A and B are shown apart, each in its own frame.
Chain A
Amino acid sequence: MRERTLFIDPGRCIGCQACVAACRECDSHRGRSMIHLDYVDAGHSTAAMPTVCMHCEDPVAPCAQVCPADAIPVDADGVVHSASRERCIGCGNCVHACPFGVPKLDLAEMLQYKCDLCYDRSSRGLAPMCASVCPTGAIFFGTYAELVADRPKAQAVDVFGFGDAVIQTGCAVVVPADREHSVVPGGYE
């Protein structure tokens, strides 16, 4: 994972959607949220979970790899950016390739949009909007050492398995500290 990164801690999420509202405030995509917020066990529980771009590290960004227009830049910091407006052809390859279901296609504009870690903020050391406002710490921006210092019952994982494919990510998900450290199974069985 990145040194200073986003940690998603679903156990703390109250489903309020402050992250969604804050994401809409970002100057590069005002009015449009890049966060996915799902009520994951609707009817049975009030549980909720935000999904942000995991900024895949190894292999680097499946979305960028499959882009026929080479429109999705990955910068030296490992941030996987939104498709560039000039290059994106709206084919949707990235939408299908992303194992976490993150990129969205705007069918009217025929352009892809995804979380870019609030690059205007995070590149200056500021937390992304979602992590700044999250009332619960379900989205946390910082280092792993900071996270576990605050949350003794937590550990973070950054390795996810999808069938035979294993992906190491730049952002991480918090799981209970007593969970065996292994690849997190992702996707639908």
Chain B
Amino acid sequence: MSRTSRIAAPGVDAFRLQRGEPAAGRADRTGEHLVATHCCFCGVQCGMFLRVSGAGAVFGVEPRNHDINKMKLCPKGVTAYQQVNHPDRLTFPLVRDRRGDPLRRASWDEALGRVVSEIRRIQQTYGPDAFAVYSGSSLTTEKCYLMGKFARVALRTKHVDYNGRLCMVSAAAANRKAFGVDRAANPWADMLDAQVILVAGANIGECFPVTTQYFWGARDRGAKLITVDPRETALARTADLNVPLRPGTDAAFFNGVLHVVERQGRIDEDFVARRTVGWEATRAMIREYTPERVGAICGIEPGLIERVGTLWGQAERAMAFHARGIEHHIQGVDNCLSVINLVLATGQIGRPGAGYGTLTGQGNGQGGREHGQKSDQLPGQRLIEDPGARAYIAGVWGIDEAELPHAGTSAVEMVHQAESGEIKGLIGICNNPLVSMPNRQRIARGYDALEFHCQIDFFLSETCDRADVVLPGSLWAEDEGVSTNAEGRVVKYNKAADPPGEARPDWWIVCEIARRLGHHADKFAFSSSREIFEELRVASRGGLADYSGMTWERIESTGGIFWPCPSEDHPGTPRLFEERFAHGDGKARFHPIEWHPPAEEVDAEYPLRLTTGRTVAHYLSGNQTRRIGALVQQTPRPWVEVHPSLGFAEGDPVKVLTRRGEATYPALVVETIRRDTVFIPYHWAGAAAANIMTIDALDPTSKIPEFKVCACRVERGEHIDAIAPPPVPPGALPDVAGAGGIADDRPPPAPQGRGTAEA
């Protein structure tokens, strides 16, 4: 973690900008002003300007020449601002008098009074741990920090977790095991120096579109690209090598690649000896993974494994990236470790053009998991069972260490505990598990079994729509705070508008509940988001994710600061592991990985593999993007992607069945998917929601669900299942632009959506 690291790799300065940032000149002419901020959606965290009219209304977007995105934006980023004055916004609190009654408007006093009395009743009756907090990572880091502190100090419950549990936790656990710290090793600009880039289970063009410029920039400079995915994505279309492996076989594949590298004598023995521990056991393991054996497991030509191994092994500088495609598995942590083994064995880390990274799905997926809302962690990536960490954080919070709860359970487990009656009450914020969590029927049973459920959101999500109390919170553009992108770079969101109507900043709502509860109420006397950040700096000091040297001003005056940043004169740490890893001895760890099949193997009844993922126009459970007209127009509904060999024609109703449920979709017939695999995008609710079918098997370490593979069969259906339009609060009319495409049964012509001729 050298302090001399450069933020930009050599060559990044030659990364050509489109001419001119609009900024001042245009604003002067139109009487508007521009608020410099970042996008609320994925882990790229593109810089953008929000256009604010002279009357104070957010009405548009302008490209911003931030170091991350160089003015680039994706269709979600361009339209993100349309949430701000959206007619579906929650503008007053809602309560439900009895289950089965509709939600009705309530005052803040009534709604908060109900929340507080139910928390007290449940905790007095069943104990403090009977009340849970389920948070999310699309919040600013200040709010994420606050949610962890709120659960542990105000509620004294061990049950707090976050929706990164559905996203990044496998990679986080693997990074921690191998490197001793959970962060991408390199800034993306390092890609421009790489000779080989390997991307596994990451649909870059649709999930992290703006990162594509780094991949294409690397190829312009001569880099070779390897993609690993059962679907031929837009990035894979022109890749030098594309590996269309069978879902659920990633660890076998990477063992096979390392086998080839080792057989060809391309191990960096010096790096392995100086900087790692445990290579011999891994070497013995990968010797069993011959290309022939791996080819049979993965359903690919053995020669392809040879070619990937040869290309990777010969590179002086190579980088590997992965995302949910290899992480959403019961062997998710192992899959990540099998990639890391390859990186470590060839010494491809800690240098410009040599490195490794995982691509966070949520905007603040990184920052949101490292400051204490994860069930087993305290702020600064501290482990909650580490006595030193407990003592330090208890000191920062001004409580007795004995008062600090111990580790709780993970997100999906908490809902299962609600089903079994162990958890009786829950406050949710920044998540929509009725659409996002696997095996929806069981998730619904869990939420229905709660005696009390409060949800904080800015739109009425499907999950809000079943809650007892809904509190109207704030959008990213209505508050300020920091977010940490997939590189580990901390950026600053700025406020462009007030929350509408009676809606309030999320941190105000949480602090107000704590104040009314009265237990350590003085620990929540924050009057601004900045005060929370200042406390977070102190809480992170000395931890792995050390933000203590950052100030909002420093973050804004640079292209963002990479943690760790332990003092105000420290430049931040764009590239990790240049000299040492974060384990006590400074060395990285190999982990021998034995591949095993997914939780549900195919059989005669369910002979195909179902995999799920995103499409470019939508984000997570779609609670935001299903309300933006342009995005709905691009991709109005889900489909099932099938290979022509299955015998369906474009648009046919195809019923997908798993052991958990079934739904009928229009067929998108493509040659770009494996014959034995079908794909459904997961952003929609109602009868066509993907989580009716997905399996709730969890990785034993990370507790991530196996969204990326389960057994299914397909058959000709009768009627295409409708999607449910996004719920709206009482009194609001459904947004015409947003709901416009709902009744449409056609599949898109391509996974990226409808062309302008079809829309």
Contacts and interface: CB of A to CB of B under 8 A. Distances in A.
A24 interface: yes
Interface in B193-248: 204-206, 209-213, 216, 220, 232-238
B20 A38 contact: no
A113 interface: no
A163 interface: no
Contacts of A150: 16, 220
B16 A126 contact: no
A142 B19 contact: yes
Contacts of B61: 25
B636 to A, nearest CB: 13
A36 interface: yes
Interface in A3-53: 4, 11-18, 20-22, 24-25, 27, 30, 33, 35-39, 42-48
Which of B60, B209, B616: most chain A CB closer than 10 A? B209
A133 B71 contact: yes
B759 to A, nearest CB: 9
B72 A133 contact: yes
Contact of A135 (B73, B233, B634): B73
Contact of A16 (B75, B237, B671, B672): B75
Nearest to B63: A132
A13 B212 CA distance: 10
B504 to A, nearest CB: 30
Given A17-B634, A141-B18, A35 B756 contact: yes
A27 B30 contact: yes
A11 B617 CA distance: 21
Counting chain A residues whose Cβ lies within 8 A of the other chain, the interface size class is: 35 or more
B751 interface: yes
Interface in B12-61: 16, 18-20, 22, 25, 30, 60-61
A181 interface: no
A179 interface: no
A17 B753 contact: yes
A176 B220 CA distance: 12
Interface residues of B, number: 53
Given A15-B205, A46-B237, A46-B751, A36 B756 contact: yes
Contacts of A171: none
A14 B220 contact: no
Interface string B626-638: 0000100010000
Interface string B268-311: 00000000000000000000000000000000000000000000
B73 A43 contact: no
A14 B235 contact: yes
Contacts of B752: 14-17, 39, 46, 48
Nearest to B21: A126
B428 interface: no
B750 A42 contact: yes
Per DSSP, are chain A's interface residues mostly helix, strand or loop, or mixed?
Answer: loop
A16 B74 contact: yes
A57 to B, nearest CB: 21
B700 interface: no
Given A45-B237, A127-B20, A132-B18, A18 B73 contact: yes
Contacts of A42: 749-750
Contacts of A44: 670-672
Contacts of A146: 16
B209 A121 contact: no
Contacts of A25: 60-61, 78
Contact of B206 (A16, A43, A45, A133): A16
B213 A151 contact: no
A134 interface: yes
A18 B234 contact: no
Given A16-B205, A17-B753, A18-B78, A141 B216 contact: no
A131 interface: yes
Which of B213, B238, B756: most chain A CB closer than 10 A? B756
Contact of B630 (A15, A21, A132, A134): A21
Given A36-B757, A44-B672, A45-B671, 10 more contacts: A17-B634, A18-B77, A21-B78, A27-B30, A46-B233, A48-B234, A126-B19, A133-B78, A135-B72, A135-B73
Interface of B: 16, 18-20, 22, 25, 30, 60-61, 63, 71-75, 77-79, 204-206, 209-213, 216, 220, 232-238, 616-617, 630, 634, 644, 650, 669-672, 749-753, 755-757
12 contacts: A14-B234, A15-B753, A16-B206, A16-B752, A21-B75, A21-B78, A45-B237, A46-B234, A124-B20, A133-B63, A133-B72, A141-B19
Interface of A: 4, 11-18, 20-22, 24-25, 27, 30, 33, 35-39, 42-48, 121, 124-127, 129, 131-137, 140-142, 146, 149-153
Complex A-B, nearest 8 residue pairs according to Cβ-Cβ distance, in ascending order: A14-B205, A39-B750, A14-B234, A15-B752, A127-B18, A21-B78, A42-B749, A21-B75
